């Protein structure tokens, strides 16, 4: 029987994404002895300064360096390792018609160019499980959509010795998941709990503007990871991205006690799997643990 350490990789578009999506899950698995690596596709160079207290010229002038410092602080809080894939942030195009993507940015790369560093990282780290975004990127930011594409490409290609032959020895991950935490069902329950407690909900405007025809990710959930006790760690990691997050904003508008009571999980869709597991799952490594022990 193998005593091989379990390994989890989370692929994200920008620094701060790892702290707003799946952070409590990662903190839980780190506590459980799993080796966790965050792959960050871009440096977040074209991100906004969303913290009013930091919206100053000197911050904008050093944004790239600050994003790296913030990422170092966040990964230390979460207890994860982290690697930069080296691409340049594409920004979020705005306008009608939308402007073209900046030349040389991540989302404008050919798929095989964009995926090659991730394939190499998968083959070096040898994750059993990979987390990423769904086909819509979670939301339609060009970098999030490209992050989805390169993650699927790496999952499917890393184990094939005839693909990306210059990127190291083949390794086949066993499961690929998509984040599904931002569901309307979750927001509605948190909104109701806030109002029942006599508190102002941070979700009123969000719910009022939620399109009726927008699919609810809750319908796609296959896997719920109970990690409520790590929500505080998640929030500390998110606050470490001080240029990106308003500490008085919506992200922190619901007391932890309410979140832990109403919806204590982070949720996922199992998108690819080379092992058998019963659904619904409560463990990203369901089926993986048995496969690893059998080696």
- Which residue ranges are tagged as binding site? 14, 17, 144
- Output phi, psi for 247, to 5 deg: -65, -15
Helix (H) or strand (E) holding 228: none
Q: CA 89, CA 190: separation in Å to the nearest integer?
A: 32
- Burial (CB < 10 A; 0-12, 13-18, 19+), residue 18, is buried
Cβ-Cβ contacts under 8 Å for 208 (sequence gap 6 or more): none
Which residues contribute to the annotated binding site for Zn(2+)?
14, 17, 144
Tokens of 197: 């407690």
Q: Which of 160, 17, 12 is nearest to 87 (CA)?
A: 12
DSSP SS3 for 91: coil
> Residue 112 and residue 109: Cα distance in Å, rounded?
8
Q: Are 6 and 232 in contact (CB under 8 A)?
A: no
């Amino acid at each position: 029987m193998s005593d091989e350490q379990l390994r989890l990789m989370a692929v994200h578009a920008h620094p701060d994404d790892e702290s707003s999506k799946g952070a409590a899950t990662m903190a839980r698995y780190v506590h459980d002895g799993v080796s966790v690596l965050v792959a960050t596709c871009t440096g977040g160079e074209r991100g906004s300064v969303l913290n009013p207290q930091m919206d100053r010229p000197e911050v904008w002038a050093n944004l790239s360096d600050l994003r790296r410092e913030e990422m170092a602080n966040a990964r230390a809080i979460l207890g994860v390792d982290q690697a930069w894939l080296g691409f340049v942030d594409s920004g979020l195009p705005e306008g009608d018609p939308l402007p073209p993507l900046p030349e040389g940015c991540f989302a404008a790369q050919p798929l095989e160019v964009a995926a090659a560093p991730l394939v190499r990282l998968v083959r070096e780290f040898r994750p059993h499980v990979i987390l990423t975004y769904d086909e819509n990127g979670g939301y339609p930011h060009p970098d999030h959509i490209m992050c989805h594409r390169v993650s699927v490409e790496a999952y499917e290609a890393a184990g094939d010795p005839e693909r990306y032959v210059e990127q190291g020895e083949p390794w086949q991950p066993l499961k690929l998941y998509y984040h599904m935490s931002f569901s309307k069902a979750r927001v509605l329950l948190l909104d109701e709990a806030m109002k029942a407690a006599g508190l102002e909900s941070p979700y009123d405007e969000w719910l009022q503007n939620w399109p009726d025809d927008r699919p609810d990710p809750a319908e796609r959930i296959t896997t719920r990871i109970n990690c409520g006790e790590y929500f505080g760690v998640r929030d500390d990691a998110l606050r470490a991205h001080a240029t990106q997050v308003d500490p008085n904003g919506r992200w922190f508008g619901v007391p932890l006690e309410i979140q832990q009571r109403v919806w204590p999980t982070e949720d996922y869709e199992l998108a690819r799997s080379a092992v058998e597991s019963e659904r619904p799952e409560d463990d990203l490594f369901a089926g993986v643990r048995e496969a690893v022990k059998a080696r």
